[in-house]
Amino acid sequence: MAILDISVDSFASQKAFAEANGGINFKLLADFHPKGAVAQAYGIYNEERGIAGRSSFVIDSEGQIVDARVYPPGELPDPQELLGIARGS
């Protein structure tokens, strides 16, 4: 099981975020060079604002997407629910 958290952000601010949260047990990835390329590949990049839309994807052990969600403003992913889907995939 792996949890990957991606933002269109520089490595330096990602590191600061991880440290500010007392060390995180999952990978923070910077989608920065070129900016937003992975977010674009997943179809959730907001060109106008230059940010990734809040979204989640559960990928099974064969590399297939089994669950894809985009969250409206104010709504956050439920980590336990996503982990449950991943465990069952």
Partner 1 sequence: MAIEAGIAAPDFTLASQDNEPLTLSELRGNPVVLVFHPLSFTGG
- Our CA angle for 41, 42, 44, nearest 5°, is 110
4 touches partner 1 by CB under 8 A: yes
Residue 85 CB, shortest distance to partner 1, in Å, is 8
Residue 48 CB, shortest distance to partner 1, in Å, is 13
The Cα–Cα gap between 54 and 76 comes to 8
Judged by beta carbon, residue 47 or residue 89, the one nearer partner 1 is: 89
Applying CB under 8 A, the site for partner 1 has a residue count of: 57
